[in-house]
Structure 1
């Protein structure tokens, strides 16, 4: 993806930083230090056949969460385990203005799962929305930045005009599983008639218990979407 003149100037004024160590990086292709990239714990087999969480035994097929709870999305994929390294990276991305990290996340998702997305033949990527109050305070929706990077690379449209968060909710990280579900009950809504969409892929930065993706999925299914998948940068362990 070629950079605009404005982007080139911004890189000179605010040099891009490695999303792992935070140091200035001159790697304008991979956006990450080579040594740092090797520190990431990629999701490998065996993984849950539903959400992609790593599991201990491939004979079980599903992780603990997907065994005990019915999720209505079709399937999801994630890149890395949400460990201390990625907690720091995602935290800086979301709360400390490191918007450029989306280039690294988006490129990695497109390279790893681009063929999978194409095989689904999805109509659109839909980023998990923030409440307008929270997005105004933060200045951006991190999921939207990631989705746009992925969409541009694999030529799938990104729709930010479909789904919105109608209720301001507490941060999910502060709640247990039951509280998360209650917190997100009817939190999302569809903006417009979406009869023309059949298969979509939700995009988010972190998948933990699945409550957010499930809440989005349910409202989309209620409005006529036939299949819902998800892509996530990070995911928790399935055991």
Structure 2
């Protein structure tokens, strides 16, 4: 039986070799999550970052980003592993939109490292992935937030409840809306699912944090249900410069131009 399993693992490695989530190159045995050339690109967000949402800040004297400084938040605090830029951005979008589910291993490992820094202060009781509407989940075949949350919970021995929150209404694409429209769009989108644990200190997990409207709406529902504190952790978070460019030019909302760096073979 053991010999048979080894043979199957070997065949899987030949037919479906591990690839670097950032460039798509096949990984050698000694390369764990990314290839050596891409390793220098793997830099977790470090200070200075927003004390509320963890967004990178250019000014070390600044305590909060523009969004958190001028808007009240339902969530207590949050962090992200990477800025939503460059090859990291392409990789998370490939995972989400091009079915590159293996990329989740890389991102969940990075998120685990970030959460370890906060565990002592946050004292998380349970992890809940941000849900997709059932229709969207059926269409995509998976929930990217759940792909990130499950290995995170396993690594840190924290229970994960995939259906703690449910998406009861299909919402418009958030990236096409301004802040007020996002909040209105999400106001009644979430509901509490069936659960048999005490909601005390909850960690929400998602792939990308932009303005925070989605996480905030979910946090509001959890607090109404009795949660003492709600934190969040995402794989990526937008930068203030990127957010400003999108709002002023609408660059991200327009039609995508062909990407000369996109490799059809690797999906990156």
TM-score (norm. length: structure 1): 0.91
Displacement of 1:41 in angstroms is 4.9
Q: In 2, Cα distance between the equivalents of 1:119 and 1:198?
A: 14
> Residue 38 of structure 1 aligns to a residue in which SS?
helix
For structure 1, the residue ranges without an aligned partner over 5 or more in a row are: none
1:144-159 equivalences in 2 (<5 Å): 144-159=146-161
**What is the alpha-carbon distance in structure 1 between the residues aligned to residue 10 and residue 74 of structure 2?**
43
Tell me what 2:95 maps to.
93
Partner of 1:58: 60
Distance 1:200 1:92 in 2: 28
Displacement, 1:48?
Answer: 0.5
Instruction: Please say which of residues 224-233 and 188-197 is displaced more in the overlay.
Output: 188-197
Is the contact made by 2:79 and 2:114 (CA closer than 8 Å) also made in structure 1? no
Q: Which runs of 5+ in 2 are unaligned?
A: 242-268
Distance, in Å, in 2 between the alignment partners of 1:138 and 1:86 is 21
Question: 2:260: which partner in 1?
Answer: none
Change (3 A) 1:24 1:137: same
What is the aligned partner in structure 2 of residue 168 from structure 1? Answer: 170
The residue number in structure 2 matching 1:182 is 184
Q: Taking structure 1 as reference, are residues 176 and 4 closer, same or farther at Cα in structure 2, changes over 3 Å only?
A: farther
Displacement of 1:184 = 1.1
The residue aligned with 2:134 is 132
Cα offset, 1:108, TM superposition = 1.2
Q: How many residues align?
A: 237
CA–CA distance in structure 2, aligned partners of residues 141 and 28 of structure 1: 30
Q: Any idea what the Cα deviations from partners look like across 1:158-210, whole Å, max 9, x if unmatched?
A: 11121010011122122222221122121111013566120010001111100
- TM-score, length basis structure 2: 0.82
Query: What is the correspondence of 1:1-239 to structure 2 with a 5 Å cutoff?
Result: 10-27=12-29, 30-192=32-194, 196-238=198-240
3-state SS of paired residue (2:38): helix
